[in-house]
Chains A and B, each alone.
Chain A
Amino acid sequence: MSVNLAVNLGGLPMKNPLTVASGTFGSGREYAELWGAIPLSVMGAVTTKGVTLEPRAGNNGIRITETASGMLNSIGLQNPGVEQFCAEDLSWLATQDVPVIVNVSGNQIGEYVGVIERLERETVVSAYEINISCPNVDCGGMSFGTDVVATAEVTAACRAATQRPLLVKLTPNVTDIAEIAKAAESAGADAISLINTVAGMAIDASSRTKVFERGVAGLSGPAIKPVALYAVHRVAEAVKVPLLGMGGIQSANDVVEFLLAGATAVAVGSANFSDPFRVPHLIQELEHWCKSEGVIDIQQLTGALT
């Protein structure tokens, strides 16, 4: 029995529903080097680290800490800026024969649009993921994604700048994520990505200090999977566009749970750190799961809760 793993994420065809969560995979180069004979093109798509108009140095001080079944990060969108990203990362990705979703970040709406306008000249870009949900920056980021009006404005501005599939990545740190998702959909999003990290904090008892300079950091890993599943389920009921689900995915079973909750595709994040081969192995495990469960087309699983 052969299994059809292919999906279409808001106009982005993927040979299987697996991509990575932005920021956990760089632009794929380090992983590709480690994978050796396994090409990056086994994945449904690569999602890049967040890109801004100008270079960003990221946050000072400690940037990660482990928590129970998870981790907190405060990287702060460190990236070389869109020009260097095009010259180095995209030119390399162009040789990899894999769909590329570029994660776009900014302080103001104009910056998001500026990044997209520059990326429109690059044929290797398949889709954009608009990051309005990063908890680790003072301006932009989550401040857009926690407000219905701001979400609609930034989505509409990005929509006007491109014909390519447009994903909007949402934060779970809101009262009602479904309202935000509807605003993004109405403003022209082709798909919704969720969830970004959950706002959290770590404190060092012995020194009585905050672990992270900014205090707040983003929680990811298996600890947030139930939060993510519920968010995907809520949003799936509220919008018609397809969803890219993520939050603590480790196993094929986890992937299936997200699909059942309503996701069309999924992203693996922190699990790339514990097992750098997690994504290629998951693709095989997912196919095996489908075979053993008699699922011939993976799309049958999306939203198929009984």
Chain B
Amino acid sequence: MCESNALLVKAQVIEQVSLGDGSFVEMLLDAPRIAEQVKPGQFVHVALPESSQHILRRPLSVLGANRITGLIRLLYQVVGEGTRLLSEVKEEEELSLLGPLGRGWDATKARKCLLIGGGVGAAPLYMLAQSLKDRGISVDVVLGATSADVLVCRESFQQLLKPSRLHLCTDDGSLGYKGFTTELCTQLLQKRKFDYIASCGPEPMQNAVAELAERAGVSCELSLERRMACGIGACLSCMVDTVDGNKRACVDGPVFNAKEVRW
């Protein structure tokens, strides 16, 4: 069983910034106890504003956390009515947060890292890139999206990495390489030696990344997305099919070793 460091806190919304084509939102919250605890790849379970007819929390990726200011940054995509309501929450309003939750990335042995983010999947990779860089470890990041205006995390990564280490691609060629992240990865894996791959994005991309890693003989972790109810491992809603049977994305993941996952 995972050791839980989860807390239930009220967090004030500092600001919400709409990104890209407007369907992505970066939310800044005052949550010092979570900022202090959260590790790269973990998430928080956010309740929608009270009096709403939405009874389930939304698991959101932590894009960044600052232990000194006590602020955390979350990134989410407005996909339905719940996330739309969340995007309408005003500054200074409070939200109920449960977190940090889940098992994050385990890059302790990694020395040459390749991080791959598809769409909003880039979010949980940012803190990992930051911590690897802080430890002086080599990091290449591939980010992909359908087009330039929805390649939402790229500014954060651009501030963190040298241009030669950040590899962008879009399906329509409006920015960077025209094509999929997996094509860029194949090229990078031929050019350079990596000993660790971390990936988050749409399931078909994750599956393809797992295969690439397997073929290249590189250790690989995937952050998987599932619908969740409790977020703490009790309700068995967020199952991931693995070689060892069902595992819970909320506490056994969301980060899984690619070799474990059955597709």
Contact = CB atoms under 8 A, between A and B. Distances in A.
A78 B236 contact: yes
Contacts of B82: 66
B55 A70 contact: yes
Interface stretch (B15-23, B114-122, B227-235): B227-235
Given A30-B233, A276-B230, A63 B55 contact: no
Interface size class of B (residues with CB under 8 A): 20 to 34
A8 interface: no
B235 A274 contact: no
A274 B55 contact: yes
B234 A71 contact: no
A207 interface: no
A277 B10 CA distance: 13
A75 B234 contact: no
B47 interface: yes
A64 B233 contact: no
Interface in B146-163: none
Interface of A: 23-26, 29-31, 33-34, 49, 57-58, 62-66, 68-71, 73, 75, 78, 221-222, 270-277
A95 B233 CA distance: 20
A53 to B, nearest CB: 18
Contacts of B216: none
Given A273-B229, A274-B47, A276-B232, A69 B55 contact: yes
Given A221-B55, A274-B55, A34 B6 contact: yes
Contacts of B235: 23-24, 26, 64, 73, 75, 273
Nearest to A76: B236
Nearest to A69: B53
B234 A277 contact: no
Given A34-B4, A69-B53, A24 B237 contact: no
A273 B230 contact: yes
A24 B236 CA distance: 9
A31 B57 contact: no
Given A57-B245, A66-B82, A276-B98, A222 B55 contact: yes
A75 B236 contact: yes
A63 B237 contact: yes
A270 B236 CA distance: 13
A134 B237 CA distance: 16
B228 to A, nearest CB: 8
B156 to A, nearest CB: 30
Nearest to A270: B55
Contacts of A58: 236, 239, 246
A276 B8 contact: yes
Interface string B227-259: 111111111111100000110000100000000
For A63, A65, A221, A271, the residue with the greatest tally of chain B CB atoms inside 10 Å of its CB is A63
B226 to A, nearest CB: 9
A75 B228 CA distance: 12
B8 A63 contact: no
